[in-house]
Chains A and B, each alone.
Chain A
Amino acid sequence: MQGILEKNLERAGTLASFAILLVFWQLCAMRMGAAYLPSPVTVLQKAVIMFRESIGGNSMFAHIGYSLRRVLAAYLLAGVLGIPLGIAMGWNTTVHKIVNPVFELLRPIPPLAWIPLAILWLGIGEGPKIFICFVGAFVVFVLNAYTGMRYTERLLIDAARTFGATRNQQLFNVAIPASLPSVFAGVQNAMSMAWMCVVAAELVGAREGVGFIIIQGGDLGDVPMIIVGMVTIGLIGFFLAVSLRLLERMLCPWRRDLNQ
Chain B
Amino acid sequence: MPDVKPVAAHPPPQPKIKSMLREYWISVASLIGFLCFWEALCRFGIVGSYQLVPPSEVFSVFLEKFWDTSPDGATLQVHTLTSLGLALGAFAMAMLTGIPLGLFMGWYKPVRILARPIFDSMRPIPPIAWISLAILWLGIGYTAKVFIIWLSAFVPCVINAYIGITLANPVLIRVSNIYGASNWETFRKIGVPSAIPMIFTGLKLSLNAAWTTLVAAELLAASEGLGFLIQMGRRIARPDIIIVGMIAIGFSGALMSALLSYIESRFASSRSL
Q: Which residues of A contact B227 (CB under 8 A)?
A: 113
Residues on the A chain within 8 Å of B239, using CB: 117, 120
Q: Tell me if A47 counts as interface (CB < 8 A to partner B).
A: no
Any chain B CB within 8 A of the CB of A20?
yes
Q: Which residue of the partner chain, among A117, A204, A214, A221, contacts B129 with CB atoms under 8 Å?
A: A214
CA distance A142 to B64 in the complex (A): 35
> B31–A105 contact, CB under 8 A?
yes
Any A CB within 8 A of the CB of B259: no
Tell me, yes or no, whether B142 is within 8 Å of chain A by CB: no
Q: Let me know if A114 is at the binding interface, CB within 8 A.
A: yes
Chain B residues touching A, majority SS: helix
B90 at interface (Cβ–Cβ under 8 A)? no
Nearest Cβ on chain B to A91's Cβ, whole angstroms: 16
A229 at the interface (CB under 8 A from B): yes
The distance in angstroms between the C-alpha atoms of A176 and B149, with both chains bound, is: 38
How many residue pairs link A and B with beta carbons under 8 A? The number is 159
Instruction: Looking at the assembled complex, report how far the CB atom of B123 sits from the nearest CB atom of chain A, in whole angstroms.
Output: 8
B117 in contact with A17 (CB, 8 Å): yes
Q: Contacts A112-B219, A217-B132, A230-B125: A18 and B30 contacting too (C-beta < 8 A)?
A: no
**B125 touching A234, Cβ below 8 Å:** yes
Near B by CB (< 8 A), chain A positions 168-199 give 195-196, 199
Q: Is the CB of B117 within 8 A of A36?
A: no
Most buried by B among A18, A94, A204, A227: A204
| A contact set with B: CB distance below 8 Å | 9-10, 13-14, 16-18, 20-21, 36-37, 94, 97-102, 105-117, 119-121, 195-196, 199-200, 203-204, 211, 214-215, 217-218, 221, 223, 226-227, 229-231, 233-235, 237-238, 241
20 residue pairs A–B, Cβ–Cβ below 8 Å: A10-B113, A13-B114, A16-B114, A17-B113, A17-B115, A20-B118, A101-B30, A108-B257, A116-B233, A116-B234, A120-B234, A195-B126, A196-B126, A203-B220, A223-B136, A226-B133, A226-B136, A230-B125, A231-B125, A237-B124
